[in-house]
Amino acid sequence: MPTKSPQPLHFMSIRDAARLIKKRDLSPVELTRAFLDRIDKVDKKTKAYITLTADSALAEARAAEAEILHGRYRGPLHGIPLAHKDLFDTRDIRTTAQSRVHEHRVPAIDSTVISRLKQVGSVMLGKLAMYEFAMGGPTTPFLEQPRNPWNLAYTTSGSSSGSGAAVAAGLCMGSLGSDTGGSIRGPASYCGIVGLKPTYGLISRYGVFPLSWSLDHAGPMTWTVEDCAYMLQAIAGHDPKDPTTSRAPVPDYSKSLREDIKGMVVGIPSHYFFTSKGGADAEAIAIVKKAVTSLEDMGAKIEDVKIPSLEHVNVSNFVILSAEAFAYHLPNFKTQPQNYGDNFLNRVYLGGVFSGADYVQAQRARSRLQREFAQALEKVDVIVSPTSSSPPVPFEKFSATTIAVTPSFTSPYNQTGMPALSLPCGFNKNKMPVGLQIAAKPFDEPTVFRIAYAWQQHAQLYNNRPPV
């Protein structure tokens, strides 16, 4: 298979690479080697990988190439090099959740999502860094945290920190992340990529380390919207091993990738997402407001909507998350507390302080939030906002206290279970990315993709690559 590519292979999108592979103009083996070379040169700076599986990746690429040459092409992920957050179980490959608690753990099975990506012929380059057990960051006592490819002094946000850094830096073509309060969308926003938290129940979490059973989501992180749709297509759908998954049929997400959004109604909860009250970043809000104006110029109608219960989301999300996380980790807290990092312990130990009444009240607040969003979405097609209320910061300026008290723009959608996607919409004065967040009714990922793709094609920000 000769290569016919006008750009470096490590900066190709999945869509473009897949078209060449299908025509036999690009070799999966050559593509995989290009990424392994890129990792060797760059990851000493970005520190995105925990475990690199170079030998097995090349074996998978050779197998994909042989199948394609014999006419057995499996689809747009066949021969595509991916890498995944280190909380997805991978058979015979170490899976640590970036914690000394599981430093030497090697699963005997694949998580369902990893198995499904294997079934469509993808290549796995390795496992990526993260916050400890998807919460204890931005530094951990076990292995270093990734650096932001746009500025290596800056954090990537978390907890899917390695996934954000790897996709942005051209160290893989896509990644699986997890999201309990914004852990896919936060790194997507900070690293200038696309990240989708799908509808609760659309993606199996079997074989995935839990943080909070009722808030956890798994989802794709990619360079473009269409790449995100391809990954979602491969992993979505009912799994008998995960009773929370829906039996609803999975649509063809690629059909929603249209540039026309005329007549669509965009809801703006300006009282919460578009005010700097509470410490939200005014510059990011202004950048997103310009994007909203562009959506209106493209034919969408903009309507202000009210979601009164948003004022309680920080508290309700933290109570639910930390209480459920404390319950999961309690056996290990009793037997090996020394193997946990302080950042994780300081947050999750609070879950043992909350009472049953506190947890019930948080769930009641969550129910009100769900009802209010459902009412708003009777009048609008999507809700649009900034992804993050705080901008990317250098490691030395990170403050857990600041993050805790500023409003969360991502956790409302963990509580409602709605699909929510982040994609780039500009850069701030420090030349760091700003994310635009788009959310819709449960299982209405097609509408999210339609708006996101239209904005992406209008803005063309995917042509910008980080300097690393």
Residues carrying an active site annotation? 85, 159, 183
Contacts of 433 (CB under 8 A, 6+ apart): 150, 189, 190, 191, 192, 392, 424, 426, 427
Q: What's the burial of 270, exposed, middle or buried (CB within 10 Å: 0-12/13-18/19+)?
A: middle
| Residue among 156, 461, 39 at smallest CA distance from 290 | 461
* Closest C-alpha to 125, from 20, 195, 34, 186: 34
Which pair of structure tokens corresponds to residue 160?
């899917």
Q: Are the C-beta atoms of residues 300 and 262 closer than 8 Å to each other?
A: yes
DSSP secondary structure letters along 91-124:
TTB---TTSGGGTT---SS--HHHHHHHHTT-EE
Three-class DSSP category at 394: strand
3-state secondary structure (DSSP) of residue 180: coil
Peptide bond into 240 cis (omega under 30): no
| Secondary structure of residue 80 in the 3-state scheme | coil
Give the integer Cα–Cα distance in Å for 15 and 76: 7
* Residue 278 CB neighbour total at 10 angstroms: 12
CA distances in angstroms from 258 to 185, 261, 442, 455, listed in the order given:
22, 8, 20, 10
